[in-house]
Amino acid sequence: MLCLENVTVAYGRVRAVREVSLAVAPEEIVAVLGPNGAGKSSLLRAIAGLHPPIEGTILWNGARLDGLPPSRVAQRGISLIPEGRQLLGSMTVLDNLLLGGYLHHRRSLRHLLAPMGWLARRPEVQARLRRVFDLFPQLEERQRQMAGSLSGGEQQMLAIGRALMAEPQLLLLDEPSIGLAPNLVREILQTLRQLQAQGVTILLVEQDAYAALRIAQRAYIMETGRIVAEGTPQEILASPQIRSAYLGGVS
């Protein structure tokens, strides 16, 4: 349902993504792995409409996505959870979550900046909050706390929760495990499995390749802007060349 063909992303003369083709099927978890600077974030940002490709096409359920502004991409059911989480630290957990769903309400910025109690009282918003809190009970306990005072793991949960408030069909995740202890990485990745079971499709960029390969059905490996390998986790892990060249050896 997501299909990239020969996508090239550039910053001036630097080609961060070069002629990348990839596909993600409904309800699949697909990982994109690769070293620093490989172009992984640029790829996600291109899909999300934040930095459109200079060449190639991005199709979503058969329709062109490239060229649409980020808000339109989001309205079509795609949510990006960016590198570094980008939470509003001096707003509460609840307000961060409510912001994630605001596109659904087609309200103006004036409404957005007003106190968001009116939003939280709407039944459909309550239902979405319930879903997020069922997935991350810690967030329910801390909903009145400032987002910036959460632990790293809780902040990642909030970033995912905020994206879920828009009820996406496709989640684009950029390094959700970064800075987290191994047990939290496992917890976050298991949550992605739960979301998959609820019908969400996931494109996951990860530095922790072995953790990502435990939950993904397929993976692509990028290096200097290109896809250099692709396969199931079994296929990728079975290749000593790929393991030593791209996955940091044995784990």
Ligand X SMILES: Nc1ncnc2c1ncn2[C@@H]1O[C@H](COP(=O)(O)OP(=O)(O)OP(=O)(O)O)[C@@H](O)[C@H]1O
CA–CA separation, 23 vs 59, rounded Å? 9
Q: Which does 14 bind (CB under 5 to 8 A by kind): Mg ion, ligand X, none?
A: ligand X
Which is nearer to ligand X, 37 or 117 (by Cβ)?
Answer: 37
Which is nearer to ligand X, 226 or 243 (by Cβ)?
Answer: 226
Least distance in angstroms from the C-beta of 153 to ligand X? 20
Closest by Cα among 216, 223, 238, 227 to 27: 216
Q: Which does 39 bind (CB under 5 to 8 A by kind): ligand X, Mg ion, none?
A: ligand X
Q: Where are the alpha helices (DSSP H) in the chain?
A: 40-47, 70-75, 93-100, 109-113, 117-120, 123-135, 137-141, 152-164, 182-197, 209-215, 233-237, 240-246
Q: Which does 110 bind (CB under 5 to 8 A by kind): ligand X, Mg ion, none?
A: none
CA–CA separation, 213 vs 217, rounded Å? 8
Least distance in angstroms from the C-beta of 226 to ligand X? 12
Which is nearer to ligand X, 14 or 238 (by Cβ)?
Answer: 14
What are the residues binding Mg ion (CB under 5 A)? 41, 83
Q: Which does 37 bind (CB under 5 to 8 A by kind): Mg ion, ligand X, none?
A: ligand X
Least distance in angstroms from the C-beta of 36 to ligand X? 3
Closest by Cα among 207, 188, 189, 194 to 251: 207
What are the residues binding ligand X (CB under 6 A)? 11, 14, 16, 34, 36-42, 83
SS3 label, residue 8: strand
Q: How many CA atoms lie within 13 A of 141 on its CB side?
A: 7
Least distance in angstroms from the C-beta of 152 to Mg ion? 17
Which is nearer to ligand X, 66 or 95 (by Cβ)?
Answer: 66
SS3 label, residue 175: coil
CA–CA separation, 138 vs 158, rounded Å? 10
Least distance in angstroms from the C-beta of 85 to ligand X? 13
Least distance in angstroms from the C-beta of 14 to ligand X? 5
SS3 label, residue 23: strand
Q: Which does 89 bind (CB under 5 to 8 A by kind): ligand X, Mg ion, none?
A: none
Q: How many CA atoms lie within 13 A of 191 on its CB side?
A: 26
Which is nearer to Mg ion, 46 or 98 (by Cβ)?
Answer: 46
Which is nearer to ligand X, 129 or 222 (by Cβ)?
Answer: 222
Q: Which does 114 bind (CB under 5 to 8 A by kind): Mg ion, ligand X, none?
A: none
- Here the tokens at position 44 are 């996600």
